[in-house]
Amino acid sequence: MPPVVRFAPSPTGYIHIGNIRTALLNWCVTKRAGGRFILRYDDTDTARSRQEYADAIAVDLAWLGMVPDVQARQSERMALYDAAAARLREAGRLYPCYETEEELERRRTLQKARGLPPVYDRAALRLTAEQKAAMEAEGRRPHWRFLLNHRIVEWQDGVRGPAHVDTASLSDPVLIRADGGYLYTLPSVVDDIDLGVTHIIRGEDHVTNTAVQIEIFEALGGSVPAFAHHNLLTTVSGEGLSKRSGALSIGSLREAGFEPMAVASLAVLTGTAEAVRPIATLQDLAALVDLSRISRAPARFDPAEIETLNAKLLHETAYADVSQRLSALGVGGGEAFWLAVRSNLVRLADAKTWWDVVRGPVAKGEQDREFLHRAASLLPAEPWDENTWGAWTQAVKDATGAKGKALFMPLRQALTGLDHGPELKALLPLIGRERALARLGA
């Protein structure tokens, strides 16, 4: 059966390169096998979830070429969670607790002082009906915990290999807050069962959650998906990425002019056994993804690498793939111009700089006017092609004796206003004889 995966962001901020790493790994795994990709907005946190963030997530995925096969919002699926909670209560796996956060914190402090792990002691299970009624009469409202089986939960992790967690070392997790709101865990499992998710690929910070969720899958009678926990991206200094900080958000990388496949290539290949390099398409990238070849160590993400990958990607891009975008930038010259300048680009928008050089005017510095006048007199008649530059500079060399930098640099500076840039054998025919004569001062 083709895999069914899900990317489940909370729309509480703009997603960053670390979030998109998870989305891309899911996409690559499922699309290579002809499966389905689900975008599920985990928006049960009504206080922080915002529509503008959900809209931005959809834009970011589309920019990278990931269009979901199915979309879902947890805020529209509350009846499913209520039904699941009722089943767990009836089965004795969901029980009410009345401690305040302050009381729980005091209890954890005391356990630590005694050298014990700060695990919830299940005191609520010992409450009588009268004690519960008395607490509710005081105005206390219960939060609800899932009763773990206190066993070793094992699974074959797609990245980490054989994995296990002893749930006896964990506190029974709170699934429902005192205000009736659901935490992440129960809605996630219910949705995975209902939507037929077969593979859960996510960050390694969820490893412990996996044991808890497997027990909930089993308690609800659902099929347990295959799990894979990839390493996390960090900054160069080793710090984690956060949606709240806005650092390295996909929107900011797009606005900075980076190509989507440069971002995707770096997000996916960093921290794997594959060499980090620009990959032309998502299909090609998917062919490289092997979860078992992802490193167990955190992957340090260097934004400077995007510049390098972006440049390499543009240097290999065909004109047909950028022609419309060049037109939108006001860049003309067709394929001849693109082939002349692409090896000098870091971002596509840089092409406008070189188009302005072709069309002029260009800056004029201190120039040897006698040398330039002599060079202008030797300009051949049009039409020009890529051989014109070589023939002309040879004639200037023969006439003036100038050679090397003394020959080429004054000509480049006069023709482009710069001391660097694309090869003039390709650029000169685009500049044309009339503009060249004017810039040489003739």
Tokens (6 digits) for 373:
């006048």
Whole-angstrom distance, CA of residue 282 vs CA of residue 32: 10
Based on C-alpha coordinates, what's the Rg of the chain? 31
Cβ contact 248:17 at 8 Å = yes
Closest to 63 measured CA to CA, from 328, 282, 284, 269: 282
Closest to 4 measured CA to CA, from 201, 157, 190: 201
Closest to 2 measured CA to CA, from 43, 36, 42: 36
Whole-angstrom distance, CA of residue 111 vs CA of residue 117: 6
Q: What residues form the annotated binding site?
A: 243
CB under 8 Å to 435, separation ≥6 — which residues? 360
Helix axes 207-219, 185-194, angle to 10 degrees: 60
Q: What residues form the annotated binding site for ATP?
A: 243
Tokens (6 digits) for 406:
């003394």
Per-residue DSSP letter, 423: -
φ/ψ region of 327 (left if φ > 0, alpha if ψ in -120 to 50, else beta) reads alpha
Whole-angstrom distance, CA of residue 41 vs CA of residue 173: 22
Closest to 74 measured CA to CA, from 200, 182, 172, 201: 182
CB under 8 Å to 205, separation ≥6 — which residues? 232
Tokens (6 digits) for 15:
């997603």
Tokens (6 digits) for 331:
């860049």
How far from each other are the two terminal CA atoms of the chain, in whole angstroms? Answer: 74
